[in-house]
Every structure is written in C-alpha cells, then in structure tokens.
Chains A and B, each alone.
Chain A
C-alpha cells in the first residue's frame, strides 16, 4: 500500500517522468498500431519489433556504451531495412506475404541474438542492462533517455493527428487517394517510418519480443466498443497508457520483474473484458440478445397455439393442454405464460389461459405473417405446400411491418394460405 501511494502520488520526480514517458509512448504506439490493425498489417509490426534487435546491438558495439542516440539510430536503421526488404521481396518474388514476414522476423531476430551473445562474452562492463531490450524494463530507463523516447512519441502523435485524413485514406481506399493526386507512396513511407519509430521508442520499456502486443492489442480491444475512428483511437490510447502505467508499477515494486510481460498481461485482460462485455459486439451481449430472441420465439408459438384453439372453436386452453402442445418444455412454457401475462397479452384464471384483446391482435399478426410467407414461398418460389411450414415457422418472428405490407401487396391481399387456412386480418372477428 505504501509503495502504491509512493508510486501514484509521484512524490519521486523520476517516477513521474517514467509515467509520463510510458503514457506518451503507449498512446503513440497504440495510435500507429490501430491504423496498421485496420489495414490488416498487424504482422508487420511484429516483424519490425523483432528486427530492431541487431540494430540495438550494433549501436551498442559502435558506441561502446548504452548511448540512446546510437541505440535509437541503430534500431531505426535495422527496422527500416527489414520493412524495405519485406516490401521489396513482396513485389519482386512470388513468395506470399506471411512467408516473407516470418522469414525476415526470424532472420533478423536470430542475428540480433548472436550479436547480443557476442557482446555479453566481450566482458564490457557497460553491457549490463542490454538484456532489458528483450523483455523491457521501464523503471531502469534513465531520465535523459526518456526525453528522447517521450519526444519521439509526441512527434508520432502529432503527425498522426495532423494527417488523420491522409492516413484514413491510405487504409480505406489508397487507389482513390492516388486518383485525386495525393502522393500515396510518400504517405505510406511516412506511415512506415512512424511505425518503426513507435517500435524503436517502445523497445527499452516493453522489449522486442512483446512490442507487437502494444501496437496491435489496444486497437483490437477498442474495436469491440466503437465504430467511430476518433473514439477508437482515443480508447486504444487509453487502454495502452493504463496498461503501460500498471506494468511500470509492477516493475517498480518488484525490480527484477520485466515491464513488457506485465503490460501485455494488462492489455490482454482489457482485450478479454472487451471481448466478453462490450455492448453489441461482446460475446455476452450477443448471447443475451440471442437468448431474448429465443424466448420471444417461444412466446410467439404459445400465442399461436392459443389462436389455433380459437379457430377450432375452443375459447381457452388449460395449462395442461399448453404443456402437451410443447412436450418436454413445461419449464419454458411456464416462463412464457408468466411473461405474456406481464405483457398483458394473455390472462390466467386458475388452470385456464385466455388471450386478451391485444393478445388476439398480436397472435393474429404472427399467424398472418406465417401464412403470408407460406403463400409467398408457394406462389413466387414454387415450393410445394408441404415444404413451406418450417421456413415460415422461423421467419414469422423476423418479418417487419414494411415487409408485411410488401407481401400483402405482392400477393394482392390473399384470403387463404397454401393449406387453405384463413389469413387473419385485424378487423376479422374471432
């Protein structure tokens, strides 16, 4: 608790610095990543983040110490080389894109590990901490390094905001962009540069192995919540920043803990929550709306049963008769009866269930849709009368009033369905 307060009240200026830094780079990489996620280029980010490792090592070897300028330039150069190779191989060979990305990723990463081992064997006392580039450690970042990383993150955020319309065009319809005379190749180049930059600045905090998660997961999680690009970007940035800060906190209280994995754990948790609970697109809300629909279906069928009884001259049905109409579903039928009573569509007196006036007109509507659809299938699609029932049984719950009007007009307000049963209208007497 003490640690928690110490960390989040920012009494320590260096902690405040780290938090600001990680927030900026989280937002920056989520911002770039969301675009590349929408562009279906998520794997490219993964390849770039693995491919910067040899550059980091070379930068270290050349500088002989952990100089941020050398390391950032080295990482940028090897990330750029990998991006260029990927696009060159794609346009000049017949290899598929996933094969190219997978090879580039492993070749660069393998080479990087070789260099890392060489550096470790060289006995350079400065090399301690170079391991952090694999899984990241946000707390260990020096203040002067933070200026560079935070500044670059700010540059990314500003450029993406200024060029929002151009980058949207790049993802949605680059051909159109080219047709109106926009330099789409240059815009793609700028975007790739920003992507490499986002990876490079995140490496020390998150690590090469997991950087791709910081690029892609925020956008993917946020996509469950919204269909608006603006909100999507803000949400992705927030997810990313929150996870970044929490990951840093864990590295602060347990210094041997790398930051990257914890950031990814937080992000995955947010993604899981989005996947489950997001309205409309979340699994649970889809489950609920499906369930509601199934309940409504059962209620409709129950009302139809009552309606058909009236057609046969029985003014009501007993509970037992209803149970018999839906064998092995007595629990469901009981629930439906309760719900229909609450909606005022039926009334129940002891064992006797009767349709109310509104209930009658609703039941007529369902039966009418059922029989109209049967007739439509029979007349317009030439389906035999004994084959039309099943489809109508499903569609009677779906057809909208507009479609009903259309069906009535097409069929010229018919009296009878293919089974010679009456198609009930609201003014008909029962």
Chain B
C-alpha cells in the first residue's frame, strides 16, 4: 500500500542508507502531498529518524536521492525546518530560552551577522505561540521535558518555513503539551504548511495524522491514514523485524566494505 502523489512536497527516490556497514533503510521510494500532517510510524530501530535525517542531508545515502519542492535540498533549505530529537543536545549548555529560539532565525540571517531587534521580535512571537512567554529568560537547563520540546518547536516556527520535519516532538512530554503542540501543528497545516513527524504511539497516530508512513527497515506503507491503518500493514510493521532482511544486514556488517555502495 504505497500511494504516490503528483507534484509532491518530498520525493524520496530509491533511498538506501547505511551506518558504517549496516543498511538501516532499504530502497525507500515515496512521495508526500503538501499541506498535510504526516506521521512516520515504526518500531524502535526501524529507521524513522534516519529517514528524516537523510531527507535533511544530515546522513549521506548509500544510494538514491531526495527532492524537495522538486528541487535539490541545497536550493530550498530556507523553506525547510528541522526539529532534532530533544535528547540529541546538551541542555546544560549555558543559554536562555530566547537564545535557543533565536537560532531559528540564523538560517535567513546567514553567517557573520548577529541577530538584532527584528530577529528578537520573531523569536518572541514564536515563544508566544507555544505558550512559553513567561520563560523567555529562563536557563534551558531548568526546563522540564515538555518545556524543552516547546522551545524546540518555537525555534522551528522562527524559521518561517513551508516544510517541517520533526523527530519525536511528542516523546517524553506531558499530556497538556502534547495536545497544545498537536493543535499548533494542525493550525499550521490549515495554513498550507506540510509537517512530517516521527511518532511512536499507534493509538494517537490514528487521530493525529492525515497521512501515514510505515517503516520497518523498508517502506511498508505510505498513504492516507484511513487506507494505511490496516491490521495487515500494522502487523507487517510491528510484527518483529523481517528475519531474512536482518540476516542479510548482519552478513553485510561482517564484511569489511559495504557492497551496496556504488
């Protein structure tokens, strides 16, 4: 069940990604519609984060390519916003909430230039949208998990992008934050933004997303939620890893070189 769309926002063409030797994504080929809230589902180690990192150019694919807005990534970077996993940064870094949100304006600001009044106003507006106005000057080390996630979302908003790629924005956040973030994402898609979210909870995924991608080392499904959320596809995604594929991965890992590389 893989639905392809015409004039897609993201086109992933035959993408294979390996870490060291082991392939973590096999020949993913999909296209995504614009203005939708899209969820990436799959078990631990299925390659969900890897997929958006590959789209963002943060990991190099072994083969295949990605096109965004029908362009190469380099040409449209400032229309894309990336929200990394919350745990991927050191929250003890000496910075305030405002400092972090301002980073969202760096892309348009460019190298050398220091952020000024205009950037500060953008950042404050974004903090307001995620309900963190009273934390502007708070040290990031003093935030709770949910607040850290809100800060990351505010930073993404400050990028003023058209496409948002978010790695587990609902991981480890309280219920109130989850609802608030979800509502915000819905409002954004209503304004024509496309949002791709790595997600881990099947139950809420049913209600949250318009479109779902199911991954388990390879692409199991991609299409409108009501078509993809079937028992058969869920079993394929979550019913253990594909035994044969895992064995092949293991075989490749033991080689001294990666035979999939061109």
Contacts and interface: CB of A to CB of B under 8 A. Distances in A.
Interface string A223-237: 100111100100000
A223 B61 CA distance: 40
Contacts of A181: 74, 77-78, 107
A227 B74 contact: no
A180 B56 CA distance: 9
Given A178-B58, A179-B56, A180-B78, A172 B95 contact: yes
A176 B77 CA distance: 12
A172 B90 contact: yes
Interface stretch (A103-111, A162-170, A306-314): A162-170
Given A173-B89, A176-B82, A226 B94 contact: yes
Contacts of B90: 38, 40, 172
Given A169-B103, A169-B106, A181-B107, A176 B84 contact: yes
B48 to A, nearest CB: 16
Contacts of A163: 111-112
B193 to A, nearest CB: 17
A180 B88 contact: no
Contact of A178 (B57, B99, B103): B57
A175 B88 contact: yes
B159 interface: yes
A165 B107 CA distance: 12
A281 B93 CA distance: 15
Given A179-B58, A227-B139, A229-B95, A173 B77 contact: no
B88 A173 contact: yes
Given A162-B112, A173-B89, A228-B94, A180 B77 contact: yes
B94 A229 contact: yes
Contact of A165 (B56, B74, B114, B141): B114
A118 interface: no
Contacts of A269: none
B179 to A, nearest CB: 18
Interface string A38-60: 10100000000000000000000
B106 A227 contact: no
A286 B87 CA distance: 28
Contacts of B141: 227
Given A176-B84, A181-B77, A165 B93 contact: no
B45 interface: no
A17 interface: no
A166 B107 CA distance: 11
A325 B96 CA distance: 48
Interface string B90-114: 1001111001100100110001101
B239 interface: no
B106 A172 contact: no
Nearest to A180: B107
B172 interface: no
A223 B78 CA distance: 35
A232 B94 CA distance: 8
B192 interface: no
Contacts of B95: 168, 172, 229
Name, among A171, A177, A181, A226, the residue most crowded by chain B CB atoms within 10 Å (CB to CB).
Answer: A181
Nearest to B114: A165
Given A162-B112, A182-B106, A175 B84 contact: yes
A229 B57 CA distance: 30
B93 to A, nearest CB: 5
B64 interface: no
Contacts of A176: 82, 84, 103
A168 B115 CA distance: 13
Contacts of A175: 53, 58, 82, 84, 88
Contacts of B94: 38, 223, 226-229, 232
B136 to A, nearest CB: 14
A13 B207 CA distance: 77
Nearest to B52: A179
B211 to A, nearest CB: 22
B219 to A, nearest CB: 23
Interface string A170-214: 011101111111100000000000000000000000000000000
A232 B139 CA distance: 14
A133 B53 CA distance: 46
A173 B114 contact: no
Nearest to A34: B94
B244 to A, nearest CB: 27
Contacts of A178: 56-58
B103 A173 contact: yes
A168 B56 CA distance: 21
B98 to A, nearest CB: 12
Contact of B106 (A180, A223, A226): A180
Given A178-B58, A179-B58, A38 B103 contact: no
Interface in B24-64: 53, 56-58
A182 B53 CA distance: 16
30 contacts: A162-B112, A163-B111, A163-B112, A165-B106, A165-B115, A169-B103, A169-B106, A171-B93, A172-B89, A172-B90, A172-B93, A172-B100, A173-B89, A173-B103, A175-B82, A178-B56, A178-B57, A178-B58, A179-B77, A179-B80, A179-B82, A180-B77, A180-B78, A180-B106, A180-B107, A181-B77, A181-B78, A181-B107, A227-B141, A232-B94
Given A162-B112, A173-B84, A228-B94, 16 more contacts: A168-B95, A169-B106, A171-B93, A172-B89, A172-B95, A173-B89, A175-B84, A176-B82, A176-B103, A178-B56, A178-B58, A179-B58, A180-B106, A182-B106, A227-B94, A229-B95
Interface of A: 38, 40, 162-166, 168-169, 171-173, 175-182, 223, 226-229, 232
Interface of B: 53, 56-58, 74, 77-78, 80, 82, 84, 88-90, 93-96, 99-100, 103, 106-107, 111-112, 114-115, 139, 141, 159
Pairs A-B, 4 closest by C-beta atoms = A180-B107, A179-B82, A181-B77, A227-B139
